[in-house]
């Protein structure tokens, strides 16, 4: 079997000198949101680039539509009913955390809900629950697509 199929992305990241296994239970909610923001950004950028080669500015505009706090807040509302008790607890911890940086051009409610969303994404990523992570992100993205269709 080819090694790239045998091992996942995580395996290869841990081969980089200095990279260590991280337990999500040892991370604060804001640290989970920090890594979750990056993971979600990578998912969305992969999605957007997969829709066709375009000028980078257009890719950025499309990406921004999904990664802004109001969009994450909207997706989180549609995902909440699908969360397990443990996932909901992680989301709640992230949502209730006091961030050092204020919300920019977003309501404080959307900003906090988005922080909870990112904390949940970070938790699932660090816990290697990739199937669950993609399942929840898919639910959120589907709800955004449905909302966009209704507006048109």
Residues with Cβ within 8 Å of 14's Cβ and at least 6 positions away in sequence, in order, are: 20, 21
Tens-digit pLDDT profile for residues 60-71? 999 999 999 999
6 falls in which pLDDT band (50, 70, 90)? Answer: low
Out of 10-14, 30-34, 37-41, 90-94, which region has the weakest mean confidence (pLDDT)? 10-14
The pLDDT of residue 11: 83
Catalytic option among 37, 41, 110, 145: 37
The pLDDT of residue 152: 66
As a whole number of angstroms, the distance between CA 34 and CA 52 comes to 28
Quick check: 93 and 119 in contact, CB under 8 A?
Answer: yes
- Is 37 noted as a catalytic residue in this protein? yes
For the record, the structure tokens of 42 come out as 């990578």
Q: Report the mean per-residue pLDDT for the chain.
A: 90
Tens-digit pLDDT profile for residues 96-121? 998 767 667 788 899 999 999 999 99
């Amino acid at each position: 079997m080819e090694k790239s199929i045998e091992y996942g992305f995580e395996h290869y990241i841990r081969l980089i000198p200095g990279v260590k296994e991280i337990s999500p239970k040892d991370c604060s909610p804001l640290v989970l949101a920090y890594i979750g923001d990056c993971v979600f950004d990578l998912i969305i950028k992969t999605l957007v680039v997969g829709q066709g080669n375009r000028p980078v500015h257009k890719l950025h505009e499309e990406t921004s539509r999904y990664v802004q706090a109001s969009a994450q807040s909207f997706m989180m509302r549609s995902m909440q009913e699908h969360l397990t008790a443990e996932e909901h607890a992680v989301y709640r911890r992230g949502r209730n955390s006091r961030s050092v940086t204020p919300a920019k051009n977003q309501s404080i409610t959307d900003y906090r809900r988005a922080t909870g969303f990112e904390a949940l994404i970070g938790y699932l990523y660090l816990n290697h629950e990739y199937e669950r992570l993609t399942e929840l992100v898919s639910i959120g993205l589907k709800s955004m697509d449905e909302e966009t269709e209704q507006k048109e």
